C-alpha cells in the first residue's frame, strides 16, 4: 500500500488541487495494470477544519461542513469515466 495526498487549503487554491487530483488519478488509472493495482482508496473524505490554513486540516475533497470542493466534482466525474 502507498499513500499520497496534498492539502486543499489556501496555498494554490482549491481549483489547482482539483486539477492535481485529476492528473494523479488519470495517471494511476492509465498504469493500473502495469503497476498491478486492483483498487485505490480515498483516506480523507472531508477536512478536519476548513477554517484554518494548517497543512493537516485540509486534505478532504469535502469541507468540514460536507460542502463539496472542486476536487470532489473531479473525483465523481473520474469515477464515472473509469467505470
Instruction: Specify the pLDDT at position 83.
Output: 81
As a whole number, mean pLDDT of residues 31-35 equals 91
**pLDDT for position 66:** 97
Q: What is the mean pLDDT of the chain?
A: 85
Tell me whether residue 54 is in a domain: yes
| Residue range(s) defining the domain that contains residue 44 | 13-82
Residue 8: pLDDT over 90: no
Instruction: Please tell me the predicted confidence (pLDDT) of residue 13.
Output: 80
Domain tally, the chain = 1
40-45-50-55 Cα dihedral, nearest 10 degrees: -30
pTM exceeds cut of 0.75: yes
From the list 64, 36, 62, 37, the residue with the least C-alpha distance to 50 is: 64
Asked if residue 6 belongs to a domain, the reply is no
Amino acid at each position: 500500500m502507498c499513500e499520497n495526498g496534498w492539502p486543499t487549503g489556501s496555498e494554490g487554491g482549491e481549483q489547482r488541487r482539483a486539477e492535481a487530483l485529476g492528473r494523479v488519478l488519470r495517471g494511476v488509472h492509465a498504469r493500473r495494470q502495469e503497476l498491478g493495482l486492483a483498487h485505490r482508496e480515498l483516506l480523507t473524505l472531508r477536512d478536519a477544519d476548513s477554517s484554518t490554513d494548517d497543512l493537516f486540516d485540509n486534505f478532504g475533497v469535502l469541507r468540514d461542513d460536507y460542502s463539496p470542493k472542486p476536487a470532489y466534482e473531479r473525483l465523481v466525474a473520474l469515477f464515472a469515466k473509469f467505470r
